[in-house]
């Protein structure tokens, strides 16, 4: 298999056979020989070595290095048997960029790291987002759901386990955290975002086991995870989860519209947030008598759902929540010093779909 054939075969599997930008990403991640190996997966190392005229030990070492890079994934993390190529662009995007710095420095120099993120940025912005956004705009129902900030709703009655961050954390057997691919790329090659540091992408169970075995993440105790989530909420990031009452999955994102691979382009392409994200069951409400007009909540709201208006008979501008735009994330409540903002339960339990059996 020629160099051109190998990269083309892999790009075609992800729907970008003729993309020069995606090819550059693949060429950065794999040498021509490695691309040939990956294109032949899931053949075992012994067969790869025979087909490509190389030592079995060398074939295993190459596959292990590609595993560290986030290009291939084994059936068993412990034995590293059953390697396959990333199933989708999304999986390759997240795995190759969600690497905490100790592993990153072992794989890439600072210049190489920046080059990788620049290649991904160019592909995402110029080709992937223009392809994905029309599809998101046509979704029949949201695939993700906003989880409200725990401290914004903790004293309210009627909270369900699948919308309570701490209940969700307690349900997980293994918890890990990795560097957020979107936030890290934005930090290195786009615009700096002040909302949070980049290590906030939560991994659970098999997702966490993958990150820990690969060395791309850090294990967290329940108490450590709760403390990190408190910081994430204080920083104004939005928790997103599967749009169901499922209590476990492999990942939880903590997003903002400045960095997120979904939110940022949705805003730019005019795709309503509710196409992809279901609102939480909660909504922010303002006590105008307590509101001092400080505008902190206007800056904090990730969805531009709060504006300042002068109510009849008032000499001061007050915060007003646009119920249609409010996604129920609750991060505005956490920054309201006079406690004029509170969350209200406005949707029934049936708002959250039952998980598929």
Q: Where in the chain is the domain with CATH 3.30.70.20?
A: 280-352
In CATH, which of 3.30.70.20, 3.30.2320.20, 3.30.470.10, 3.40.50.300 is domain 280-352? 3.30.70.20
CA contacts within 13 A on the Cβ side of 294: 15
Distance CA 169, CA 166 (A): 5
pLDDT tens digits along 178-204: 999 998 898 888 777 877 667 789 999
Find the mean pLDDT for residues 243-265.
94
Kindly state the tokens that stand for 220: 């967290």
Query: Looking at the chain, how many residues does it have?
Result: 357
Find the mean pLDDT for residues 291-298.
95
Task: Tell me the DSSP string of 169-200.
Answer: HHH-S-EEEEE-HHHHHHHHHS----S--SEE
pLDDT of amino acid 287: 96
For residue 240, list its beta bridge partners: 146, 253
**CA separation, residue 39 to residues 30, 33, 52, 133, 152 (Å):** 11, 10, 12, 29, 49
pLDDT of amino acid 4: 56
Specify the higher pLDDT residue, 83 or 357: 83
Which range, of 213-222, 286-295, 309-318, averages the lowest pLDDT? Answer: 309-318
If you average pLDDT over every residue of the chain, what do you get?
A: 94
pLDDT of amino acid 149: 97
Distance CA 149, CA 233 (A): 6
Q: Where in the chain is the domain with CATH 1.10.10?
A: 1-87
Residues in Cβ contact with 228 at an 8 Å cutoff, skipping those fewer than 6 apart: 177, 200, 202, 220
Per CATH, the number for 1-87 is 1.10.10
Query: For the purposes of burial, counting CB atoms within 10 Å of the CB of 178, is it exposed (0-12), middle (13-18) or buried (19 or more)?
Result: buried
Question: Strand pairing of 84-85 and 199-204?
Answer: unpaired
Helix or strand holding residue 265 (H, E):
helix 263-269
Distance CA 354, CA 77 (A): 31
The H helix count followed by the E strand count for the chain is 18, 13
Distance CA 44, CA 74 (A): 11
Find the mean pLDDT for residues 268-276.
97
Kindly state the tokens that stand for 205: 């169970």
pLDDT tens digits along 100-122: 777 777 888 889 999 999 999 99
Kindly state the tokens that stand for 22: 């995606």
Find the mean pLDDT for residues 236-256.
95
Extract the runs of DSSP E, i.e. beta strands, from 148-258.
Answer: 175-179, 199-204, 217-219, 238-242, 251-255
Residue 202 three-state SS: strand
Distance of alpha carbon 237 from the chain centroid: 11
Whole-prediction pTM: 0.92
Q: Is it true that the peptide bond before 42 is cis, omega within 30 degrees of 0?
A: yes
- 262 and 276 Cβ atoms separated by less than 8 Å: yes
Specify the higher pLDDT residue, 189 or 124: 124
Q: Is the pLDDT of residue 229 over 60?
A: yes
Query: For the purposes of burial, counting CB atoms within 10 Å of the CB of 149, is it exposed (0-12), middle (13-18) or buried (19 or more)?
Result: buried
The torsion region of residue 304 among left (phi > 0), alpha (psi -120 to 50) and beta comes to left
- 330 and 146 Cβ atoms separated by less than 8 Å: no
How much of the chain, in percent, has pLDDT values that exceed 70?
97
Specify the higher pLDDT residue, 3 or 14: 14
pLDDT tens digits along 130-171: 999 999 999 999 999 999 999 999 999 999 999 999 999 999
Find the mean pLDDT for residues 272-297.
96
Find the mean pLDDT for residues 224-230.
96
């Amino acid at each position: 298999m020629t160099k051109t054939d190998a990269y083309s075969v892999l790009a075609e599997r992800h729907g970008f056979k003729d993309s020069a930008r995606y090819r550059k990403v693949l060429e950065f991640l794999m040498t021509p020989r490695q691309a040939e190996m990956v294109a032949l997966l899931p053949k075992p190392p012994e067969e790869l070595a025979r087909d490509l005229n190389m030592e079995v030990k060398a074939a295993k070492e190459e596959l292990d290095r590609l595993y560290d890079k986030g290009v291939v994934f084994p059936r068993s993390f412990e034995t590293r048997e059953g390697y396959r190529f990333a199933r989708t662009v999304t999986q390759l995007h997240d795995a190759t960029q969600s690497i905490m710095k100790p592993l990153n420095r072992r794989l890439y120099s600072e210049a190489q790291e920046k080059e990788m993120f620049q290649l991904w940025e160019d592909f995402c912005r110029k080709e992937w987002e223009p392809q994905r956004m029309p599809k998101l705009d046509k979704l029949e129902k949201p695939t993700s759901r906003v989880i409200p900030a725990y401290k914004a709703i903790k004293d309210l009655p009627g909270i369900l386990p699948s919308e309570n961050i701490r209940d969700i954390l307690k349900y997980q057997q293994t918890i890990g955290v990795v560097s957020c691919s979107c936030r890290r790329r934005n930090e290195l090659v786009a615009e700096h975002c002040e909302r949070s540091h980049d290590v906030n992408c939560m991994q659970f169970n098999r997702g966490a086991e993958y990150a820990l075995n690969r060395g791309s993440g850090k294990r967290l105790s329940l108490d450590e995870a709760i403390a990190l989530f408190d910081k994430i909420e204080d920083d104004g990031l939005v928790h997103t989860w599967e749009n169901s009452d499922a209590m476990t999955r492999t990942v939880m994102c903590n997003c903002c519209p400045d960095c997120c691979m979904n939110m940022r382009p949705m805003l730019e392409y005019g795709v309503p947030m509710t196409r992809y994200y279901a609102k939480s069951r909660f909504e922010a409400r303002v006590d105008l008598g307590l509101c001092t007009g400080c505008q902190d909540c206007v800056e904090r709201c990730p969805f531009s759902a709060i504006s300042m208006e002068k109510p009849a008979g008032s000499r001061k501008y007050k915060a007003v929540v646009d119920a249609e735009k409010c996604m129920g994330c609750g991060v505005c409540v956490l920054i309201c010093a006079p406690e004029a903002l509170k969350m209200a339960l406005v949707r029934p339990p049936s708002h959250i779909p039952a998980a598929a059996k």
